[in-house]
Amino acid sequence: MNYAAHYSHLIARARGRVLVGYRERHHVLPSCMGGGNEPENLVALTAEEHYVAHQLLVRIHPDIPGLVHAAVWMAKQCTGNKAYGWLRRRHALAVSAARLGKQFSKEHLANMSAARRGRVLSPEHRANMSAALRGRALSPETRAKISTARIGRVFSPEHRAKLSAANIGRKHSAETRAKMSAAHKAHWAQRRAA
């Protein structure tokens, strides 16, 4: 069997799509073989595909200990890629549920902010985030919090110029214009009442 051809096909298919839902980041050229975190070396795979990718890498390069270690770690309690995928999705749900409503200290929030500062997201990552948030309805409480946070916010002249430049030539549908108008009227009525 040509394991390298199967691996190449798996990676090519991953590069040509946007995954929605649970996905895992995979280094095309593994870190233990000198691969870095450059966007062109990263692809999003399903959990099942990620499991198979590491099995193929071990078949292609059986003498590289890092690859064998990764494959063994992934297969610890699993009997194949379907079991691994199921376990990873269940784990992601459990971690998400454990973090729901958790309050972080100001120091912890500052550390998380500093870790993200200067990080540039790839166009693929931005598309994945956009697709995940599209159509998501916000609760009235969340909308009220966002509205309160925006009150009194002042933009710098540079930021205003960027916003203006981004909107030049942009056309909204009649329905969108009506929604925006209603939102602006409600906003200013609320501010006048306060």
Domain count, the chain: 2
Is 125 within a domain? no
pLDDT digits (tens, 9 = 90+) for 86-131: 767 777 787 787 788 888 889 988 898 888 888 888 888 888 888 8
pLDDT digits (tens, 9 = 90+) for 56-85: 998 899 888 888 888 878 877 677 777 777
Is 105 within a domain? no
Tokens in use for 118?
A: 């200067």
The parent domain of residue 165 ranges over: 139-194
Q: What gap in Å lies between CA 94 and CA 84, rounded to an integer?
A: 15
Is 110 within a domain? no
Task: Please tell me the pTM assigned to this model.
Answer: 0.48
DSSP H helical ranges for the chain = 3-15, 47-60, 65-74, 81-99, 106-116, 123-133, 140-150, 157-167, 174-193
Residue-level pLDDT at 77: 62
Residue-level pLDDT at 10: 96
Residue-level pLDDT at 57: 92
Q: What gap in Å lies between CA 92 and CA 100, rounded to an integer?
A: 12
pLDDT digits (tens, 9 = 90+) for 15-30: 989 888 889 999 999 9
Identify the residue whose tokens are 């200013």.
188
Q: Which of 99, 131, 166 is the last residue of a domain?
A: 99
For residue 177, the surrounding DSSP H or E stretch is helix 174-193
pLDDT digits (tens, 9 = 90+) for 164-194: 888 888 888 888 889 889 988 888 888 888 7
Is 133 within a domain? no
